[in-house]
Amino acid sequence: MGVDRQVSEQEKNEQPVEKKEKKSLSLNVVSNKEHKGFGAGTIDLSSVSCVIIDNGEAYIDVGAMHAKSKVEKGIKFSTNKEDVPNGRLCWIVWVAVDRNEEGSYYAGATACPMLVDTEARRGWKILAQHVNNLDYAIKRRFILDELGTEEKAALKGLLVSNNPEWWERSPDKLKEALNA
């Protein structure tokens, strides 16, 4: 009986604890929601795809959006090219798709170089360039002039085989840039 009285006295002295709900600070990058308050100004990346060009082969790799593509996994990147003397040249191409009254088309494409040495697990890339070129692709620009003939052919082949109708509706600027 004495124990019961102690518990009841403790309960009298304790105030109920109010739990405050915290606003979560998450970056919402793929959503169709319109933001009018918290989280306004986020970028919608749902219309952007990542293409990797490695050894003359172009393929879509969604992991590249977060630097986790097949060629980037397990690689420690540096901004100093001298850190990767035996690196092979790979490209990330940001491809934006848009839609008009005729249908979808390739609206923007920008290429970014990187060097990867898989054996040494070292790589080189300029992250700022990758971010800026992603932004340029979203803004419907084409920056593909650094790609070589083999890389341009691989990218064109992938875009055409992925969806021939999108390729046909794409701007002439893209077709001219890849017809090297």
- Pick 37 or 98 by higher pLDDT: 98
State mean pLDDT over 90-117.
Answer: 95
DSSP 66: G
Here the tokens at position 58 are 């172009």
Nearest-angstrom CA–CA distance, 108 and 49: 10
Per-residue pLDDT reduced to its tens digit, 142-154: 999 999 999 999 9
Q: What is the mean pLDDT of the chain?
A: 83
What is the pLDDT averaged over residues 4-8? 54
Q: What pLDDT is recorded for position 65?
A: 83
Q: What pLDDT score does 58 carry? A: 96
* pLDDT for the residue 34: 53
Three-class DSSP category at 88: strand
* 8 A C-beta contact, residue 136 and residue 106: no
Q: Give the pLDDT of residue 62.
A: 87
User: Quick one: pLDDT at residue 64?
Assistant: 87
Q: In the chain, which residue ranges form alpha helices assigned H by DSSP?
A: 2-13, 127-138, 149-162, 164-169, 172-178
